Structure 1
Amino acid sequence: MTERPWNAARPGAAGARRPLARFSSIRHRSARAVPRSSRTLHESRVEPMSTSKPPRTAHGGRLSYAVFALARVHRSVAAGMLRSLGLHPGQELLLMQLFDKDGQTQSELLDSVGLDHSTVSKSLRRMQEAGLITRRPNEHDRRAQDVWLTDRGRAMSEPIEAMWAALEEISTRHLDAEAIESFIATAATIENSITNRDRATK
Protein backbone atom coordinates (compact mmCIF):
# COMPACT_ATOMS: atom_id res chain seq x y z
CA MET A 1 0.00 0.00 0.00
CA THR A 2 1.36 3.41 -1.00
CA GLU A 3 1.55 5.85 1.89
CA ARG A 4 -0.03 9.23 1.24
CA PRO A 5 2.29 12.22 1.82
CA TRP A 6 1.48 14.20 4.98
CA ASN A 7 0.28 17.24 3.01
CA ALA A 8 -1.79 15.40 0.41
CA ALA A 9 -5.53 15.99 0.18
CA ARG A 10 -7.64 13.61 2.22
CA PRO A 11 -11.14 12.41 1.44
CA GLY A 12 -13.96 14.26 3.12
CA ALA A 13 -17.01 16.40 2.61
CA ALA A 14 -16.82 18.86 -0.27
CA GLY A 15 -15.32 22.15 0.85
CA ALA A 16 -14.24 20.74 4.22
CA ARG A 17 -10.93 22.18 5.47
CA ARG A 18 -8.97 19.33 6.99
CA PRO A 19 -6.14 20.09 9.46
CA LEU A 20 -3.46 18.96 6.99
CA ALA A 21 -4.78 21.22 4.24
CA ARG A 22 -5.09 24.12 6.67
CA PHE A 23 -1.53 23.65 7.91
CA SER A 24 -0.20 23.40 4.36
CA SER A 25 -1.81 26.74 3.54
CA ILE A 26 -0.69 28.47 6.73
CA ARG A 27 2.90 27.26 6.59
CA HIS A 28 3.44 28.95 3.21
CA ARG A 29 2.36 32.26 4.72
CA SER A 30 4.51 31.72 7.82
CA ALA A 31 7.61 30.99 5.76
CA ARG A 32 7.70 34.65 4.79
CA ALA A 33 7.75 35.74 8.43
CA VAL A 34 10.48 33.44 9.79
CA PRO A 35 13.57 32.27 7.84
CA ARG A 36 12.96 28.74 6.59
CA SER A 37 15.42 25.88 6.75
CA SER A 38 16.59 24.51 3.41
CA ARG A 39 15.63 21.00 4.47
CA THR A 40 12.11 19.83 3.73
CA LEU A 41 9.90 17.46 5.66
CA HIS A 42 10.41 14.70 3.12
CA GLU A 43 14.18 15.02 3.40
CA SER A 44 13.94 14.53 7.16
CA ARG A 45 11.74 11.45 7.06
CA VAL A 46 12.97 8.34 8.82
CA GLU A 47 12.11 4.77 8.00
CA PRO A 48 9.60 3.25 10.45
CA MET A 49 10.98 0.78 12.97
CA SER A 50 9.23 -2.52 13.62
CA THR A 51 7.61 -2.49 17.05
CA SER A 52 6.06 -5.95 16.69
CA LYS A 53 9.47 -7.65 16.55
CA PRO A 54 12.07 -5.65 18.49
CA PRO A 55 15.75 -6.63 18.54
CA ARG A 56 16.54 -9.72 20.59
CA THR A 57 18.17 -7.66 23.34
CA ALA A 58 14.95 -5.63 23.74
CA HIS A 59 12.63 -8.61 24.27
CA GLY A 60 12.51 -7.84 27.98
CA GLY A 61 11.34 -4.30 27.24
CA ARG A 62 8.89 -4.56 24.36
CA LEU A 63 6.67 -1.74 25.59
CA SER A 64 9.64 0.55 26.22
CA TYR A 65 11.01 -0.20 22.75
CA ALA A 66 7.60 0.53 21.22
CA VAL A 67 7.55 3.90 23.03
CA PHE A 68 11.05 4.64 21.73
CA ALA A 69 10.13 3.74 18.14
CA LEU A 70 6.92 5.79 18.28
CA ALA A 71 8.67 8.82 19.77
CA ARG A 72 11.39 8.61 17.12
CA VAL A 73 9.09 8.72 14.10
CA HIS A 74 6.64 11.17 15.72
CA ARG A 75 9.47 13.56 16.61
CA SER A 76 10.87 13.33 13.08
CA VAL A 77 7.59 14.32 11.42
CA ALA A 78 6.97 17.09 13.95
CA ALA A 79 10.50 18.44 13.40
CA GLY A 80 9.91 18.60 9.66
CA MET A 81 6.69 20.53 10.17
CA LEU A 82 8.44 22.94 12.51
CA ARG A 83 11.24 23.50 10.01
CA SER A 84 8.65 24.45 7.41
CA LEU A 85 7.58 27.20 9.84
CA GLY A 86 11.17 28.31 10.41
CA LEU A 87 11.30 26.88 13.94
CA HIS A 88 13.66 24.51 15.72
CA PRO A 89 12.17 21.63 17.78
CA GLY A 90 11.37 22.83 21.30
CA GLN A 91 10.83 26.44 20.30
CA GLU A 92 7.14 25.76 19.71
CA LEU A 93 6.79 24.59 23.33
CA LEU A 94 8.20 27.87 24.61
CA LEU A 95 6.00 29.88 22.26
CA MET A 96 2.91 27.93 23.34
CA GLN A 97 3.62 28.77 26.99
CA LEU A 98 3.99 32.44 26.08
CA PHE A 99 0.76 32.38 24.06
CA ASP A 100 -1.01 31.35 27.29
CA LYS A 101 0.91 33.79 29.50
CA ASP A 102 3.21 36.37 28.01
CA GLY A 103 6.03 37.93 30.00
CA GLN A 104 7.09 34.82 31.94
CA THR A 105 10.55 34.65 33.42
CA GLN A 106 13.08 32.26 31.95
CA SER A 107 12.83 30.16 35.15
CA GLU A 108 9.05 29.87 34.77
CA LEU A 109 9.44 28.72 31.18
CA LEU A 110 12.08 26.23 32.28
CA ASP A 111 9.66 24.67 34.77
CA SER A 112 6.77 24.67 32.27
CA VAL A 113 8.43 22.88 29.36
CA GLY A 114 10.54 20.43 31.34
CA LEU A 115 13.74 21.02 29.33
CA ASP A 116 17.22 21.56 30.74
CA HIS A 117 18.59 25.04 31.37
CA SER A 118 21.10 25.07 28.51
CA THR A 119 18.51 23.93 25.96
CA VAL A 120 16.03 26.63 27.01
CA SER A 121 18.73 29.33 27.03
CA LYS A 122 19.91 28.34 23.55
CA SER A 123 16.33 28.22 22.22
CA LEU A 124 15.48 31.64 23.66
CA ARG A 125 18.63 33.14 22.17
CA ARG A 126 17.76 31.78 18.74
CA MET A 127 14.16 32.96 19.09
CA GLN A 128 15.34 36.46 20.00
CA GLU A 129 17.70 36.52 17.01
CA ALA A 130 14.77 35.47 14.79
CA GLY A 131 12.66 38.34 16.14
CA LEU A 132 10.10 36.09 17.87
CA ILE A 133 10.71 37.31 21.44
CA THR A 134 12.39 40.04 23.45
CA ARG A 135 13.94 39.70 26.91
CA ARG A 136 13.88 42.43 29.52
CA PRO A 137 15.06 42.61 33.15
CA ASN A 138 12.35 41.74 35.66
CA GLU A 139 11.20 44.87 37.50
CA HIS A 140 11.23 43.09 40.89
CA ASP A 141 14.37 41.00 40.43
CA ARG A 142 17.02 42.48 38.16
CA ARG A 143 18.81 39.14 38.03
CA ALA A 144 15.82 37.58 36.28
CA GLN A 145 14.68 38.22 32.73
CA ASP A 146 11.09 38.37 31.47
CA VAL A 147 10.39 36.89 28.05
CA TRP A 148 7.88 38.72 25.85
CA LEU A 149 6.47 37.86 22.44
CA THR A 150 7.01 40.24 19.55
CA ASP A 151 4.35 40.78 16.88
CA ARG A 152 6.16 38.18 14.78
CA GLY A 153 6.10 35.75 17.70
CA ARG A 154 2.39 36.27 18.34
CA ALA A 155 1.73 35.66 14.63
CA MET A 156 3.05 32.10 15.07
CA SER A 157 0.04 31.11 17.19
CA GLU A 158 -2.18 30.08 14.28
CA PRO A 159 0.55 28.14 12.39
CA ILE A 160 1.56 26.22 15.53
CA GLU A 161 -2.06 25.39 16.36
CA ALA A 162 -2.55 24.18 12.78
CA MET A 163 0.64 22.11 13.01
CA TRP A 164 -0.57 20.26 16.11
CA ALA A 165 -3.94 19.60 14.47
CA ALA A 166 -2.22 18.26 11.34
CA LEU A 167 0.09 16.06 13.40
CA GLU A 168 -2.94 14.76 15.30
CA GLU A 169 -4.69 13.88 12.05
CA ILE A 170 -1.64 11.95 10.83
CA SER A 171 -1.21 10.13 14.14
CA THR A 172 -4.83 9.12 14.68
CA ARG A 173 -5.98 8.30 11.14
CA HIS A 174 -6.34 4.58 12.00
CA LEU A 175 -7.74 5.10 15.51
CA ASP A 176 -11.29 5.69 16.71
CA ALA A 177 -12.22 8.04 19.57
CA GLU A 178 -12.17 5.25 22.16
CA ALA A 179 -8.69 4.10 21.13
CA ILE A 180 -7.41 7.67 21.30
CA GLU A 181 -8.73 8.21 24.82
CA SER A 182 -7.36 4.82 25.90
CA PHE A 183 -3.91 5.66 24.54
CA ILE A 184 -3.88 9.06 26.28
CA ALA A 185 -4.79 7.42 29.60
CA THR A 186 -2.18 4.68 29.15
CA ALA A 187 0.51 7.21 28.20
CA ALA A 188 -0.30 9.27 31.31
CA THR A 189 -0.03 6.16 33.50
CA ILE A 190 3.36 5.28 32.02
CA GLU A 191 4.60 8.86 32.40
CA ASN A 192 3.50 8.88 36.04
CA SER A 193 5.22 5.54 36.69
CA ILE A 194 8.49 6.83 35.25
CA THR A 195 8.27 10.22 36.98
CA ASN A 196 7.64 8.60 40.38
CA ARG A 197 9.98 5.65 39.91
CA ASP A 198 12.21 6.57 42.88
CA ARG A 199 9.23 6.93 45.20
CA ALA A 200 7.95 3.47 44.24
CA THR A 201 11.24 1.76 45.20
CA LYS A 202 11.39 3.26 48.69
Structure 2
Amino acid sequence: MSSLSFHYLSMAVHSMIQKNFMEQVKSSGLTSGQPKVLDYLRDHNGANQKEIAAACHIEPGSLTSVLNRMEEKGLIERRMLDGNRRTFYIFMTDEGSRLKDLVEDNFASIEKKAFRNISSEEQAAFMETFSKIYENLMNKGDTTHE
Protein backbone atom coordinates (compact mmCIF):
# COMPACT_ATOMS: atom_id res chain seq x y z
CA MET A 1 0.00 0.00 0.00
CA SER A 2 1.30 3.44 -0.83
CA SER A 3 2.22 5.82 1.94
CA LEU A 4 -0.91 7.89 2.58
CA SER A 5 -1.02 10.81 5.00
CA PHE A 6 -2.84 10.64 8.33
CA HIS A 7 -5.29 13.39 7.38
CA TYR A 8 -6.16 11.71 4.09
CA LEU A 9 -6.69 8.30 5.71
CA SER A 10 -8.76 9.73 8.56
CA MET A 11 -11.03 11.64 6.15
CA ALA A 12 -11.32 8.69 3.77
CA VAL A 13 -12.12 6.21 6.56
CA HIS A 14 -14.72 8.56 8.04
CA SER A 15 -16.31 8.99 4.63
CA MET A 16 -16.40 5.23 4.01
CA ILE A 17 -17.91 4.56 7.43
CA GLN A 18 -20.61 7.18 6.78
CA LYS A 19 -21.34 5.79 3.32
CA ASN A 20 -21.52 2.16 4.54
CA PHE A 21 -23.65 3.12 7.51
CA MET A 22 -26.14 5.29 5.60
CA GLU A 23 -26.53 2.54 2.97
CA GLN A 24 -27.35 0.03 5.71
CA VAL A 25 -29.96 2.24 7.41
CA LYS A 26 -31.41 3.84 4.26
CA SER A 27 -34.73 2.04 4.60
CA SER A 28 -35.17 3.37 8.16
CA GLY A 29 -35.45 6.97 6.93
CA LEU A 30 -32.61 8.15 9.19
CA THR A 31 -30.69 11.09 7.78
CA SER A 32 -27.23 12.46 8.50
CA GLY A 33 -26.75 13.51 12.11
CA GLN A 34 -29.66 11.50 13.45
CA PRO A 35 -27.81 8.20 14.09
CA LYS A 36 -25.17 9.81 16.28
CA VAL A 37 -27.85 11.61 18.30
CA LEU A 38 -29.65 8.30 18.87
CA ASP A 39 -26.33 6.67 19.74
CA TYR A 40 -25.61 9.40 22.30
CA LEU A 41 -29.12 9.24 23.78
CA ARG A 42 -28.64 5.50 24.30
CA ASP A 43 -26.54 6.31 27.38
CA HIS A 44 -27.74 9.89 27.98
CA ASN A 45 -31.51 9.82 27.47
CA GLY A 46 -32.86 13.13 28.78
CA ALA A 47 -29.77 15.17 27.89
CA ASN A 48 -30.18 18.81 26.97
CA GLN A 49 -29.38 20.18 23.52
CA LYS A 50 -26.11 21.78 24.63
CA GLU A 51 -24.82 18.43 25.94
CA ILE A 52 -25.87 16.62 22.77
CA ALA A 53 -24.27 19.22 20.50
CA ALA A 54 -20.95 19.03 22.36
CA ALA A 55 -20.87 15.23 22.55
CA CYS A 56 -21.88 14.72 18.91
CA HIS A 57 -19.67 17.51 17.55
CA ILE A 58 -22.64 19.21 15.91
CA GLU A 59 -23.06 22.98 15.85
CA PRO A 60 -26.04 24.01 18.02
CA GLY A 61 -27.91 25.54 15.06
CA SER A 62 -27.45 22.39 12.98
CA LEU A 63 -28.51 20.23 15.92
CA THR A 64 -31.77 22.17 16.20
CA SER A 65 -32.60 21.20 12.59
CA VAL A 66 -31.63 17.57 13.21
CA LEU A 67 -33.77 17.43 16.36
CA ASN A 68 -36.72 19.11 14.63
CA ARG A 69 -36.70 16.42 11.92
CA MET A 70 -36.32 13.69 14.55
CA GLU A 71 -39.27 15.10 16.49
CA GLU A 72 -41.40 15.25 13.32
CA LYS A 73 -40.59 11.56 12.69
CA GLY A 74 -41.54 10.66 16.27
CA LEU A 75 -38.01 9.57 17.24
CA ILE A 76 -37.57 12.01 20.12
CA GLU A 77 -39.58 14.33 22.27
CA ARG A 78 -38.54 17.53 23.96
CA ARG A 79 -39.58 18.02 27.56
CA MET A 80 -39.19 20.77 30.11
CA LEU A 81 -38.09 19.58 33.52
CA ASP A 82 -38.60 21.28 36.89
CA GLY A 83 -40.55 24.11 35.26
CA ASN A 84 -37.43 25.37 33.46
CA ARG A 85 -38.88 26.95 30.30
CA ARG A 86 -35.49 27.82 28.85
CA THR A 87 -34.01 24.34 28.58
CA PHE A 88 -35.52 21.39 26.80
CA TYR A 89 -34.41 17.86 27.53
CA ILE A 90 -34.39 15.30 24.74
CA PHE A 91 -35.87 11.86 25.27
CA MET A 92 -36.11 8.98 22.83
CA THR A 93 -39.57 7.70 22.01
CA ASP A 94 -40.26 3.98 21.56
CA GLU A 95 -39.66 4.43 17.82
CA GLY A 96 -36.39 6.25 18.53
CA SER A 97 -35.33 3.41 20.80
CA ARG A 98 -36.14 0.86 18.10
CA LEU A 99 -34.01 2.77 15.58
CA LYS A 100 -31.28 3.20 18.20
CA ASP A 101 -31.01 -0.60 18.26
CA LEU A 102 -30.72 -0.61 14.46
CA VAL A 103 -28.02 2.07 14.66
CA GLU A 104 -26.12 0.09 17.28
CA ASP A 105 -26.29 -3.13 15.24
CA ASN A 106 -25.05 -1.37 12.12
CA PHE A 107 -22.19 0.39 13.91
CA ALA A 108 -21.13 -3.02 15.29
CA SER A 109 -21.33 -4.56 11.81
CA ILE A 110 -19.15 -1.82 10.31
CA GLU A 111 -16.65 -2.09 13.16
CA LYS A 112 -16.44 -5.86 12.61
CA LYS A 113 -15.83 -5.26 8.90
CA ALA A 114 -13.23 -2.57 9.60
CA PHE A 115 -11.25 -4.80 11.98
CA ARG A 116 -11.45 -7.93 9.81
CA ASN A 117 -8.04 -9.69 9.63
CA ILE A 118 -6.66 -7.48 12.41
CA SER A 119 -5.65 -9.25 15.62
CA SER A 120 -7.24 -8.28 18.93
CA GLU A 121 -3.82 -7.01 20.09
CA GLU A 122 -3.52 -4.78 17.02
CA GLN A 123 -7.09 -3.56 17.54
CA ALA A 124 -6.36 -2.68 21.18
CA ALA A 125 -3.15 -0.85 20.24
CA PHE A 126 -4.91 1.03 17.47
CA MET A 127 -7.79 2.07 19.73
CA GLU A 128 -5.37 3.23 22.43
CA THR A 129 -3.44 5.34 19.92
CA PHE A 130 -6.59 6.62 18.21
CA SER A 131 -8.00 7.63 21.62
CA LYS A 132 -4.81 9.57 22.37
CA ILE A 133 -5.11 11.36 19.02
CA TYR A 134 -8.72 12.24 19.86
CA GLU A 135 -7.69 13.58 23.29
CA ASN A 136 -4.85 15.61 21.73
CA LEU A 137 -7.23 17.23 19.28
CA MET A 138 -9.92 17.84 21.93
CA ASN A 139 -7.40 19.68 24.07
CA LYS A 140 -7.85 22.88 22.04
CA GLY A 141 -5.93 25.17 24.38
CA ASP A 142 -2.75 23.10 24.27
CA THR A 143 -0.63 24.18 21.34
CA THR A 144 2.67 22.91 22.68
CA HIS A 145 4.66 20.46 20.66
CA GLU A 146 6.34 17.56 22.35
Q: TM range, normalised to the smaller chain? A: 0.7 to 0.9
Q: CA deviation at 1:173?
A: 1.1
Find out whether 1:177 has 2:120 as its counterpart. Answer: yes
Alignment equivalent of 2:54, drawn from 94, 97, 111 = 111
Structure 1 partner of 2:2: 52
Change (3 A) 1:192 1:148: closer
SS at match of 2:89: strand
SS in 1 for 2:90: strand
Helix, strand or coil: the match of 1:112? helix
Kindly report structure 1 stretches of 4+ aligned residues shifted beyond 3 Å. Answer: none
Q: Contact (CA 8 Å) 1:82, 1:89: kept in 2 or not?
A: no
- Deviation, 1:120, is 1.1
Determine which of 64, 68, 71 is the counterpart of 1:128.
71
Please tell me whether residue 156 in structure 1 is matched to residue 93 in structure 2.
Answer: no
Task: Report the equivalent of 1:41.
Answer: none
Q: Does 1:66 align with 2:13?
A: no
Matched to 1:146, the amino acid is Y
Q: Which residue of 2 aligns with 1:101?
A: 44
Which of 118, 127, 131 is the aligned partner of 1:188?
131
CA shift for structure 1 position 117? 0.6
Q: Could you tell me the TM-score, scaled by structure 2's length?
A: 0.85
Number of equivalenced pairs: 145
What amino acid is the match of 1:105?
N
Cα distance in 1 for residues equivalent to 2:139 and 2:61:
24
Instruction: Render the CA deviation track for 1:61-109: whole Å, top value 9, x for unaligned.
Output: x222222222222222122223233211221221122222322222222
* Secondary structure, aligned partner of 1:200: coil
Q: TM-score, normalised by structure 1?
A: 0.64
The farther-off stretch of 82-91 and 167-176 is 82-91
The residue number in structure 2 matching 1:201 is 144
Q: Unaligned 5+ residue runs, structure 2?
A: none
- CA-based RMSD of the aligned residues comes to 2.1
- Select the structure of larger CA radius of gyration: 1
Deviations 1:13-70 (A, max 9, x none): xxxxxxxxxxxxxxxxxxxxxxxxxxxxxxxxxxxxxx7255xxxxxxx222222222
Give the structure with the higher percent helix. 2
Deviates more, 1:131-140 or 1:113-122: 131-140
Q: Deviations over 1:163-195 (max 9, x none)?
A: 111111211112111111111111112222222
Q: What is the CA–CA distance in structure 2 between the aligned matches of 1:101 and 1:71, rounded to whole Å? A: 24
